[in-house]
Amino acid sequence: MSVATDSRGRLEGKLAVVTGASRGIGFAIARGLADRGARVIVSSRDPESCARAATDLGGIGVACDVADDAQVHALFDAVASHGGADVLVSCAGLGGGRLAAKTDRAELQTMLDVHYLGAMTAARLAAEQMRARGGGAMLFVTSIWGLGGASGTLAYGAAKAALAHSVKVLALEWARDGIRVNGLAPGYVATDMTADLPDAARDKMLSRIPLRRAARPEEMAGPACFLCSDEASYVTGHVLVADGGERAR
Ligand SMILES: NC(=O)c1ccc[n+]([C@@H]2O[C@H](COP(=O)([O-])OP(=O)(O)OC[C@H]3O[C@@H](n4cnc5c(N)ncnc54)[C@H](OP(=O)(O)O)[C@@H]3O)[C@@H](O)[C@H]2O)c1
């Protein structure tokens, strides 16, 4: 008996919006979506790097700081002018963190603005477009630090934990509209965000990872594209951990 090949993992005809897509994990996911046939709207703050990434992928670049609601609205106006979103990947984010005693309100606010509040505005606006198109898929890039505690991650982890929680709430509320909502929780991925880690911190992180290495950003594209495609048509409200086995302990 031959195994039938099908096109459920393909994304032909879909319009995918990826925030934080100028480099790193977001760029790798945007490339994965484009390779699977999607038209990709590549977004990040810096107009030049965003336009460059869009050109690389044959997509459309739209600069947007997700911490600014007016810019997120403008991004989705642009998306509407291309027909409306079928897929949203919220990946914009920034690293950094201090011990709790040194973490002030401003740091908490910045992390929430960029990782969480911007993603929620994007989700609401994308959902309106997806409803009009009969459904869609959303993916929030959270982190293993949003699933468990780690010293020095108070603000970052809180914002990522909020995202992981919202995956479940949005999945429940929007299932009736044909909108699936999932999360991807990477462990240690070698990107600009982790490039400046002190050697001791890097060694400690690597020692906890059963696969004994950091992920390449491209290794996040497969899980992300799976969750955004019809291959995952019965998967919603799930946070997929891609951490080299770290949380298996
Ligand atoms: N690297 C890891 O080990 C790791 C692990 C778990 C989760 N993550 C998460 O994965 C996501 C991507 O991280 P990465 O490692 O790929 O980082 P990265 O290489 O530093 O890329 C970050 C991306 O986000 C964009 N960005 C930053 N602030 C933004 C804002 N306010 N509005 C819009 N875009 C913004 C950046 O472009 P501009 O500078 O042009 O805005 C860039 O495209 C983040 O959410 C991060 O928390 C990373």
Ligand 1 cavity residues, CB under 6 Å: 19-26, 44-46, 49, 64-67, 91-94, 114, 141, 143, 186, 188-189, 191-194
Does residue 249 belong to any structural domain of this protein?
no
Any domain includes 238: yes
Ligand 1 center from residue 7 Cα (angstroms): 30
In a domain, 6, yes or no: no
The confidence band for 4, taking pLDDT boundaries of 50, 70 and 90, is very low
- Does 165 reside within a domain? yes
Query: What's residue 1's pLDDT?
Result: 43
Q: Based on the structure, what is the number of domains in the chain?
A: 1
Read off the pTM: 0.97
Task: Residue 100: give the domain boundaries.
Answer: 15-244
Say if 47 falls within a structural domain.
yes
Residue 87 lies in a domain: yes
7 within domain boundaries: no
- pLDDT for 2 equals 42
Tens-digit pLDDT profile for residues 92-113: 999 989 999 999 999 999 999 9
Residues designated as active site: 156
Q: Count of CB atoms within 10 A of residue 141's CB?
A: 26
DSSP 94-160: ------GGG--HHHHHHHIIIIIIHHHHHHHHHHHHHHHTT-EEEEEE--GGGTS--TT-HHHHHHH
- State the average pLDDT over residues 214-219: 98
Asked if residue 3 is part of any domain, the answer here is: no
CATH classification at residue 91: 3.40.50.720
